[in-house]
């Protein structure tokens, strides 16, 4: 496999290369998947604000995941954005790498498996394009220019996602009894966008598109293709399939918001399985702070018999630990 990306060689093999084979305890069929169970769906077009807020808060406490409909982002923009990313991942490998490696500091990057990748570790069946998208427009000069209209479409999309993210974060903060602007004004300054491409896999029972993990974000918005069940949420010792709803966004609480809420909100563990029939493209928007921002339980949530559970930590240090410890990060953050 001389090519860097999974998408460049996946169809040349009738079996999964050994470096992509998960240990038996991590394979998709090890833990049963609940049938008939799904994550909550929140209608943001409802007319009673308090009911919507309570629905979001309940879902965030119990599942750490929900889907939102009638969210205000146009179907046309969602289609345009998905098509742009599909076209990007369909380009020749050399061209994709060239378009995503213009910044020597790595603000835009294309990689396979994981961003920090030890070739001796188990690999994951995906290619990912990642770049920062702060509201200032910084880093946009390093975004891909191909396919045509990439920057135009993705800029519009990230602006819409930022507005939606502010709305949801403000409702969550209000529901927790915090200032509604507690998170959105100072902790969402450096969002990032990740587009994952999962090619068809010859042996989906042996590998994963993404391991069991929690997101290193405040909150994440995922746009996934319809009719492909791949995302799963871990709850009460079982996996729940997040069935795609056309033009809905999957929203999940990140580990940072779990810390800020002092454990009241749930940064739920989730994973992605593969399939042998079709490719899958997803677009994830991560609300993230700057490296210097301090992540800690909100002071007003650590009184009256509820002492802080987690340490104070800079986001930069959090990411460093997350990249090395992965799903085992929590013990390193507890007081």
Q: Predicted confidence band at 306 (pLDDT cuts at 50, 70, 90)?
A: confident
Which range (31-35, 55-59, 156-160, 229-233) has the least confidence?
A: 31-35
Q: With beta carbons less than 8 A apart as the criterion, state whether 133 and 139 touch.
A: yes
Beta-bridge partner residues of 69: 43
Comparison of pLDDT for 185 and 316, the residue scoring more: 316
- Is residue 189's pLDDT more than 90? no
Task: Round the average pLDDT of the chain to a whole number and report it.
Answer: 93
Greatest extent of the chain over all pairs of C-alpha atoms, in Å = 61
- The stretch 164-182 carries a mean pLDDT of 96
Q: What is the rounded CA–CA span in Å between residue 86 and residue 76?
A: 15
3-class secondary-structure state, position 248: coil
| Torsion of Cα atoms, 64 then 251 then 23 then 15, to 10° | 160
- Is residue 42's pLDDT more than 70? yes
Q: What is the rounded CA–CA span in Å between residue 82 and residue 85?
A: 5
pLDDT for res 119: 62
pLDDT tens track for 203-258? 999 999 999 999 999 999 999 999 999 999 999 999 999 999 999 999 999 999 99
pLDDT for res 117: 59
Question: Closest Cα to residue 247, out of 219, 281, 223?
Answer: 223
pLDDT exceeding 70 applies to what percent of the chain?
A: 98
- Is residue 270's pLDDT more than 50? yes
- The stretch 138-166 carries a mean pLDDT of 97
- Is residue 1's pLDDT more than 50? no
CA angle at 114 for the pair 84 and 257, rounded to the nearest 5°: 85
- The stretch 17-43 carries a mean pLDDT of 90
Q: What is the rounded CA–CA span in Å between residue 110 and residue 69?
A: 30
- Is residue 116's pLDDT more than 70? no
| Torsion of Cα atoms, 76 then 72 then 226 then 77, to 10° | 20
- The stretch 185-207 carries a mean pLDDT of 93
Q: What is the rounded CA–CA span in Å between residue 107 and residue 34?
A: 39
- Is residue 71's pLDDT more than 80? yes
Q: What is the rounded CA–CA span in Å between residue 263 and residue 167?
A: 21
Domains and CATH numbers, the chain: 40-332 (2.60.120.330)
Tokens matching residue 274: 């593969």
Q: With beta carbons less than 8 A apart as the criterion, state whether 222 and 247 touch.
A: no
pLDDT for res 319: 93
Q: Predicted confidence band at 14 (pLDDT cuts at 50, 70, 90)?
A: confident
Question: Does 147 sit behind a cis peptide bond, omega within 30 degrees of 0 on the bond before it?
Answer: yes
Is the whole model's pTM more than 0.85, yes or no?
Answer: yes
Residue with tokens 């992605």: 272
Question: Closest Cα to residue 140, out of 168, 119, 159, 124?
Answer: 159
CA-based end-to-end distance of the chain? 45
């Amino acid at each position: 496999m001389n090519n860097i990306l999974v998408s460049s060689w996946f169809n040349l093999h009738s079996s999964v290369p050994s470096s992509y084979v998960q240990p038996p305890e991590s394979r998709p069929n090890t833990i049963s998947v609940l049938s008939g169970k799904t994550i909550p769906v929140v209608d943001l077009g409802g007319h009673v604000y308090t009911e919507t807020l309570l629905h979001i808060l309940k879902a965030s406490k119990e599942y750490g995941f929900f889907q939102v409909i009638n969210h205000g982002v146009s179907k046309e923009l969602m289609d345009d954005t998905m098509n742009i990313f599909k076209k990007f991942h369909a380009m020749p490998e050399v061209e994709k790498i060239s378009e995503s490696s213009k910044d020597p500091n790595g603000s835009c990057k294309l990689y396979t498996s994981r961003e920090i990748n030890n070739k001796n570790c188990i690999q994951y069946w995906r290619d990912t394009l990642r770049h920062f998208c702060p509201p200032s427009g910084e880093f946009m000069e390093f975004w891909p220019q191909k396919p045509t209209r990439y920057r135009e479409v993705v800029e519009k999309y990230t602006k819409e996602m930022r507005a939606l993210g502010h709305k949801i974060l403000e409702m969550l903060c209000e529901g927790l009894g915090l200032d509604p602007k507690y998170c959105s004004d100072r902790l969402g300054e450096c969002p990032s966008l990740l587009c994952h491409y999962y090619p068809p896999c010859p042996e989906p029972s042996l590998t994963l598109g993404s391991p069991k993990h929690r997101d290193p974000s405040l909150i994440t918005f995922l746009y996934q293709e319809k009719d492909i069940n791949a995302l799963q949420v871990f709850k009460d010792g079982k996996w729940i399939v997040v069935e795609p709803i056309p033009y809905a966004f999957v929203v999940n609480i990140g580990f940072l918001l779990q810390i800020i809420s002092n454990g009241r909100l749930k940064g739920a563990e989730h994973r992605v399985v593969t399939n042998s029939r079709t490719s899958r493209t997803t677009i994830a928007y991560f609300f993230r702070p700057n490296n210097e921002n301090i992540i800690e339980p909100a002071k007003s949530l650590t009184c009256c018999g509820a002492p802080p559970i987690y340490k104070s930590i800079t986001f930069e240090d959090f990411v460093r630990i997350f990249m090395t410890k992965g799903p085992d990060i929590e013990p390193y953050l507890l007081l």
